[in-house]
A = this chain, B = another copy of it.
Amino acid sequence: MELLQDDPEYRAAVVDLLGVLAYGELSAFERIAADAAMSPTLADSVALSGMAAAEFRHHEELSRRLRDLGVDPLVAMEPFRTPIDDFHAHTKPSDWLEGLVKAYVGDGIGLDFYREIAVRLDPQTRDLVLRVCEDLGQSAFIVDAVRSAIDEDPRVAGRLALWGRRLVGEALSQAQRVAAERDALSSLLVGGVDRPGADLAEIGRMLARLTENHSRRMAEMGLAA
């Protein structure tokens, strides 16, 4: 908490971080719940809805923390609406399988990013961010669903692999936009004038880890990254 009181730039970065996560979870909730309605079976629908409901719980936890810091969550989320809405507008799943892959890949990249940034946070914020991460593993059913779809018709693997690349490309391009616009948030990652952050080599290694994990997740679903 010391950092949060003493360092206005750090505080601004944390508010940005909680804001982008809170809006990301809210919009993931809305998209995944909408995709659940396209489910071919009732079991799929229940599983995907459960995943969406977990995203909403995260959103609520992050909002509560913002209110504890004296910040209106609506205000904190506002700067991130356009990039995140644009991401979703550019990556509308055309069917159930694309929705599944998007949920799995999106959840995975989100969680990886949470964990990367957690090491730069004060203990209390870090605990919250890591707690949100714990709520994992609900998406294991996606791996089975995608794999059996490929077994049935191997041609879908090519289409879904392309789709996975498009998701990552869009995510990166929106992330760059956020980084360019939100100084405090970016300097939490790369360091500012008076606080050491990651150097370029470290950022390179972080991107390598994120990419590696993404490829591993694609491979789990039977897809080339």
A residues with a Cβ closer than 8 A to B are: 23, 26-27, 29-31, 33-34, 36-37, 42-43, 45-46, 49-50, 52-53, 56-57, 59-60, 63, 73-74, 77-78, 81
Contact = CB atoms under 8 A, between A and B. Distances in A.
Contact of A49 (B26, B49, B81): B26
Nearest to A32: B33
A60 B49 CA distance: 10
A53 B33 CA distance: 10
A35 to B, nearest CB: 9
A36 B28 CA distance: 12
Given A53-B53, A53-B56, A56-B53, A36 B30 contact: yes
A85 to B, nearest CB: 9
A50 B26 CA distance: 10
Contacts of A60: 50, 53
A74 B42 contact: yes
A81 B42 contact: yes
Interface of A is mostly: helix
Contacts of A42: 23, 74, 77-78, 81
A27 B34 CA distance: 10
B30 A49 contact: yes
A65 to B, nearest CB: 15
Contacts of A34: 30, 33-34, 37
B33 A46 contact: no
Contacts of A57: 53
A37 B43 contact: no
Given A23-B42, A30-B37, A33-B52, 14 more contacts: A26-B45, A26-B46, A29-B33, A29-B49, A31-B37, A33-B33, A33-B34, A34-B34, A42-B77, A49-B59, A52-B56, A53-B53, A53-B56, A53-B60
A12 B225 CA distance: 50
29 contacts: A26-B45, A26-B49, A27-B37, A29-B33, A29-B49, A30-B33, A30-B34, A30-B37, A30-B45, A30-B49, A31-B37, A33-B33, A33-B34, A33-B52, A34-B37, A42-B77, A42-B81, A43-B74, A46-B63, A46-B73, A46-B74, A49-B56, A50-B56, A50-B60, A52-B56, A53-B53, A53-B56, A53-B57, A53-B60
